[in-house]
């Protein structure tokens, strides 16, 4: 410890004043970076000066710990806090320089052994095989959605919530309409008869009974994905079905195939339930909205996460050791 007291450079690098100055500079830099637009944040968090600032801050804390380390009971909490900050900074540095984050796209019945990291390909050393991809939707009832109607003769536009029970009048135009049927996945059979192909909203369509002056004019299918396919008899009135189904959950049932590690590992990947294998975590992030048998996974290998996690645990332990005796004594004085 004598070396730190006699050497001016080490004494300056380990000083509390420098620690406080660096601490506030880091906070200010993080605050400014958080206020910037996402595409501009790299000018702060990915810049050389920011990492130099963190490196000097880490060096300052390291020298503080070494020069002031003490194993007396009163100093244990302070030592733990300093150690935790070092671990968090070390973990953050590992994450920045050595973490791998890429995207993997797989179709049902196919496997993939590489991910796209930016514009580069990164090989995993094992394969991920997609056995099945499935989606759960919230209730597909059309009455929760909007339909717009336009009457050309009066140049008027109206919006309604679909009602499967009551007939709805279109302003004072004399028109009215009622919902007769709804197919979330409209299709035609070989006899050109409409039927519902599945419960998934791949091709939502609603069948309307259109009336004019209380007299039925026509029945018309109105498609959410294809507004102009209604085959209207009465061109004076047009409808648009604004149907936007909401995904409740989507999942990928996968199998890891590793030639060097025996039998494969089976797993179901959900949004908040990743697959972990050989340091990689696979997250469900998206799917092909046109081809619902095509999943998009994000693969992450981050060697710094463990250090950051342990660092925060030690930080909490250190704060408890520091403040618990004080709170206990303050509570005893009140009594």
Q: For the segment 113-147, what is each residue's pLDDT rounded down to a tens digit?
A: 999 998 899 999 899 999 999 888 776 666 667 88
Q: Say if residue 87 is in the same domain as residue 159.
A: no
User: Which pLDDT does position 260 carry in this prediction?
Assistant: 79
Q: What is the pLDDT of residues 177-203, one digit of tens each?
A: 988 888 888 898 888 899 998 877 788
Q: Say if residue 213 is in the same domain as residue 86.
A: no
- Rounded to an integer, what distance in angstroms lies between the CA atom of residue 301 and that of residue 276? 10
Residue 276 has which token pair? 């972990």
- Contact status, residue 62 vs residue 86, Cβ threshold 8 Å: yes
Q: Is pLDDT above 90 for 290?
A: no
Number of domains, the chain: 3
Q: Say if residue 130 is in the same domain as residue 146.
A: no
Least confident of 2-6, 145-149, 246-250, 297-301: 2-6
User: Which pLDDT does position 144 carry in this prediction?
Assistant: 65
Q: Is pLDDT above 90 for 102?
A: yes
Q: Say if residue 253 is in the same domain as residue 236.
A: no
Confidence of residue 4 (pLDDT cuts 50, 70, 90): low
Q: Say if residue 93 is in the same domain as residue 110.
A: no
- Rounded to an integer, what distance in angstroms lies between the CA atom of residue 293 and that of residue 253? 11
What are the distances in angstroms from CA 310 to CA 57, 85, 305, 315? 19, 10, 9, 8
Phi, psi dihedrals of residue 117, rounded to the nearest 5°: -110, 95
Confidence of residue 111 (pLDDT cuts 50, 70, 90): very high
Q: Say if residue 257 is in the same domain as residue 122.
A: yes
Q: Say if residue 22 is in the same domain as residue 148.
A: no
Q: Is pLDDT above 90 for 281?
A: yes
Give the relative orientation of helices 48-68 and 73-98 as an angle to the nearest 10 degrees.
Answer: 150
Count of Cβ atoms closer than 10 Å to residue 227 Cβ: 14
Q: Is pLDDT above 90 for 54?
A: no
Residue 199 has which token pair? 């419960």
162 φψ region: left (φ > 0), alpha (ψ -120 to 50), beta (else): beta
Q: Is pLDDT above 60 for 8?
A: yes
% residues pLDDT > 70 (the chain): 93
User: Which pLDDT does position 1 carry in this prediction?
Assistant: 56
What are the distances in angstroms from CA 172 to CA 86, 155, 156, 329? 73, 12, 10, 78
Handedness of CA 153, 157, 162, 165 (dihedral sign): negative
Confidence of residue 112 (pLDDT cuts 50, 70, 90): very high
The pLDDT mean for the chain works out to 84
Q: Say if residue 193 is in the same domain as residue 206.
A: yes
What are the distances in angstroms from CA 180 to CA 71, 167, 204, 223? 80, 10, 14, 14
- Tell me the residue range of the domain where 110 lies: 101-137+248-301
The pTM for the full model equals 0.65
User: Which pLDDT does position 298 carry in this prediction?
Assistant: 94
Handedness of CA 235, 177, 147, 155 (dihedral sign): positive
Tell which residue, 148, 177, 151, has the closest CA to residue 237: 151
Q: What is the pLDDT of residues 216-228, one digit of tens each?
A: 888 988 888 877 7
Q: What is the average pLDDT across 259-288?
A: 88
Q: Say if residue 132 is in the same domain as residue 257.
A: yes
User: Which pLDDT does position 310 carry in this prediction?
Assistant: 94
Last residue of a domain, one of 220, 242, 264: 242
Q: Say if residue 13 is in the same domain as residue 74.
A: yes
Count of Cβ atoms closer than 10 Å to residue 127 Cβ: 18
Q: Is pLDDT above 80 for 212?
A: yes
Q: Say if residue 23 is in the same domain as residue 91.
A: yes
Q: Say if residue 194 is in the same domain as residue 75.
A: no
Last residue of a domain, one of 225, 242, 259: 242
């Amino acid at each position: 410890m004598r070396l730190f007291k006699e050497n001016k450079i080490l004494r300056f690098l380990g000083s509390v004043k420098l620690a406080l100055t660096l601490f506030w500079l880091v906070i200010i830099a993080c605050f400014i970076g958080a206020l910037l637009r996402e595409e501009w944040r790299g000018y702060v968090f990915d810049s050389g000066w920011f990492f130099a600032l963190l490196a000097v801050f880490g060096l300052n804390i390291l020298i503080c710990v070494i020069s002031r380390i003490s194993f007396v009971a009163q100093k244990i909490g302070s030592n733990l806090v300093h150690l935790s900050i070092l671990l968090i900074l070390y973990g953050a540095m590992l994450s920045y320089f050595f973490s791998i984050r890429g995207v993997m796209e797989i179709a049902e019945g196919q496997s993939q052994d590489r991910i796209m990291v930016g514009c580069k390909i990164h090989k995993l050393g094992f394969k991920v095989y997609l056995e099945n991809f499935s989606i759960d939707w919230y209730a597909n009832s059309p009455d929760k959605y909007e339909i717009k109607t336009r009457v050309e003769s009066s140049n008027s536009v109206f919006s309604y919530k679909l009602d499967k029970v009551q007939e709805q009048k279109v302003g004072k135009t004399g028109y009215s309409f009622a919902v007769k049927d709804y197919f979330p996945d409209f299709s035609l059979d070989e006899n050109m008869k409409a039927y519902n192909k599945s419960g998934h909203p791949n091709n939502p369509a609603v069948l309307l009974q259109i009336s004019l002056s209380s007299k039925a004019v026509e029945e018309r299918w109105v498609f959410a994905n294809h507004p102009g396919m209604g085959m209207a008899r009465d061109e004076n009135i047009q409808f648009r079905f604004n149907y936007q189904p909401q995904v409740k959950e989507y999942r990928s049932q996968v199998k890891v195939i590793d030639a060097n590690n025996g039998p494969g590992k089976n797993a179901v990947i959900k949004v908040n339930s990743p697959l972990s294998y050989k340091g990689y975590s696979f997250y469900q992030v998206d799917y092909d909205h046109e081809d619902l048998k095509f999943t998009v996974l994000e693969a992450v290998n981050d060697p710094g996460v463990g250090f950051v996690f342990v660092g925060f645990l030690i930080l909490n332990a250190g704060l408890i050791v520091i403040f618990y005796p004080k709170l206990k004594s303050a509570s005893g004085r009140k009594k």
